[in-house]
Structure 1
Amino acid sequence: MGDCFDRLSHVMRLFHGVCRLRDLLSRGVSEPEVAAAVGRGELVRVRKGLYATPGADPVFVAARRTRSLLTCASAANFHGLWTLARRDQPPDRYHLLRPTGADRPDAVVHRDTWVAPDPYAPVAGVADVVLHALRCLPELEALLMAESAMHQGISLDFVRERLPGNRNAPARAVLGLVDTGSESPIETLARTHLRRAGLHVETQVEIEGVGWVDALVERRLILELDGKTHEEPRQLDKDRRRDRAAQLLGYPVFRYGYGDVVYRPELFVSEVTRMLGFPTGIDR
């Protein structure tokens, strides 16, 4: 029994807690073993031919039950893509890939698919996820997902070539904003807001005597965009030393957090613009 249970547990983990009977059988788990696991409460029969562990992600279970795949914003966390959504807040509606069949009233349904899905989870392939996001989400949310996908190696040309025609012009415009120099969502948003204000922004710039900075605005103002790691005492001390070194060289340093850039972008841009109006020790 131990070997049977180990094999069954392994397959269920492989499939993220929700698995079709045919996938269990193809991996050496027998129907009597499945039935016994259901009897012991180790598996739940979701529908004919589909089983889940009691602790399986209910979103994965719902997707498998409806023969759908999670995509767009609903698949971002699975693929490690950047988003504006908080992980502890469930969305109002999920995004599903359903090439055929009726639309679900409680979901945003996407029909087109270009690449193979994840082999084990009910999630569309990362290229499909990005393409759906570009055609569906607000501009900045789509940009974050696309740019982080490019960091993972997804080809910008591959994505652009699958967005032909006038209907996809807004999606291609989002791709025009992609700059893989940014290393975090807040850097991407800050760069985009400032460039739209007409400012020259370089990302991840090395300054002699200071080191690498998140962004250099108009070649004379250093912008540092802080995440939670910058709240740690050791990092705070390091940041202060770097700031002093930069200021001694004539560079003003502005530091902003996630909330400043995401929730107060107008104020963020206004402050940076005002600072650039003051004389500094840098002649560029």
Structure 2
Amino acid sequence: MRIRGIVHRRDLPLRGISETERRRLLRQGRVRRVATWYVTPEAPEDLLPILQRGARATCLTAAEHHGLWTPLHSGAHVYRPRGLSPDQLGEEEVGHGRGLRCWPDTDPVAALPLALDHAARCLSAPEAAILFESALHRRKLSMDAVARCVAGLPRTLRTPFSRLSSRAESGTETAVRWWLESLRVTVVPQVWIPAVGRVDLKLGTNWIIECDSVRYHDNLEQFHRDRARDLRLRALGFVVTRLTWEQVFLEWEATSEHLLTALRRRDHRKKLPR
């Protein structure tokens, strides 16, 4: 993936930059050299230490640069050439790859299929699914392209990804749906309810779960729209649960216990009023 403000030295002629021009830009301070790269002030700062060590961004770090919804994480995920040993990575860097003989391209960030391949091997299946489903929802990859990514994985890793859906609209929704499916709960994403519109998840006959997709949701107008929708759903006989990003990714142990309690009562199996 090309990144604005970062050019590999081999690509300078392709950008119309001659050797004389390269030297002039360096003298003027308009670009600086980072290992085999030339960067301008608009280059993302998080990538520069990775490139300086001779590695490149992949997995969760690449997914962020590709514009995907990513779960909470710390540290950078990088893939490395054969000449760079794991102990040469940064203290908080997570290494990927098996020591490539050479880079497949001159881009500073792994192409999305490669980043997803690394994610499937690095993360839990539900975490990797968040990236795959975000790529589908944002039309970064087609379902056929995702299927090819999954087909290249070891058999033990491929099986869970048969549940991937292009209908999930947020990582929060993916995380909750995958947890419910792991319990063999019947759950359908993005269901259309007359007089209400689409809802994130429908469990059984009458339980609607709406998932906030952003941290610290504080849009007052959206808050009022959401509550109006909830009221209409209640009037139709649905039970509505609204989960925040924080409840799913910071307080999941307590959140999942509350959801399990409701599931055990089998309230979601009750018939809707006529």
Q: Aligned partner of 2:185: which letter?
A: L
Gaps in structure 1 of 5+ consecutive residues: 1-13
Residue 77 of structure 1: how far off its partner (Å) = 0.4
Query: Structure 2: how far apart are the matches of 1:70 and 1:60?
Result: 7
2:231 maps to: 244
**4+ runs deviating over 4 angstroms:** 116-119, 278-281
**SS of structure 1 residue aligned to 2:198:** strand
Q: Check if 1:217 corresponds to 2:199.
A: no
Contact 1:261 / 1:268 at 8 angstroms: preserved in 2? no
> Which of residues 148, 151, 155 in structure 2 aligns to 1:158?
148
Residue 15 of structure 1: how far off its partner (Å) = 5.0
Residue 187 of structure 1: how far off its partner (Å) = 0.6
**SS of structure 1 residue aligned to 2:12:** helix
Q: Check if 1:110 corresponds to 2:97.
A: yes
1:94 maps to: 77
1:191 maps to: 177
1:282 maps to: 272
Change (3 A) 1:95 1:283: farther
> Which of residues 112, 119, 125 in structure 2 aligns to 1:126?
112
Residue 63 of structure 1: how far off its partner (Å) = 4.0
Q: Check if 1:232 corresponds to 2:219.
A: yes
Residue 218 of structure 1: how far off its partner (Å) = 0.7
Matched-pair identity in %: 29
Q: Aligned partner of 1:219: which letter?
A: T
Query: Structure 1: how far apart are the matches of 2:269 and 2:54?
Result: 62
1:171 maps to: 157
Change (3 A) 1:278 1:207: closer
Contact 2:34 / 2:51 at 8 angstroms: preserved in 1? no
Query: Structure 2: how far apart are the matches of 1:198 and 1:78?
Result: 34
2:26 maps to: 38
Contact 2:9 / 2:38 at 8 angstroms: preserved in 1? yes
Give the TM-score normalised by the residue count of structure 1. 0.77
Between 266-275 and 26-35, the greater mean CA deviation after superposition:
266-275
Between 266-275 and 188-197, the greater mean CA deviation after superposition:
266-275
Contact 1:221 / 1:276 at 8 angstroms: preserved in 2? no
Residue 26 of structure 1: how far off its partner (Å) = 3.5
Change (3 A) 1:212 1:112: farther
How many pairs align? Answer: 258
1:26 maps to: 14
- What are the within-5 Å matches in structure 2 for residues 37-56 of structure 1? 37-47=25-35, 50-54=37-41, 56=43
Residue 68 of structure 1: how far off its partner (Å) = 3.4
RMSD: 3.0
Query: Structure 1: how far apart are the matches of 2:20 and 2:269?
Result: 79
**SS of structure 1 residue aligned to 2:86:** coil
Q: Aligned partner of 1:213: which letter?
A: V
Change (3 A) 1:95 1:27: closer
Query: Structure 1: how far apart are the matches of 2:104 and 2:268?
Result: 53
Contact 2:207 / 2:238 at 8 angstroms: preserved in 1? yes
Change (3 A) 1:138 1:160: closer
Gaps in structure 2 of 5+ consecutive residues: none
1 or 2 for the larger relative contact order (CA 8 Å, sep ≥6)? 2
Give the TM-score normalised by the residue count of structure 2. 0.80
Bigger CA radius of gyration: 1
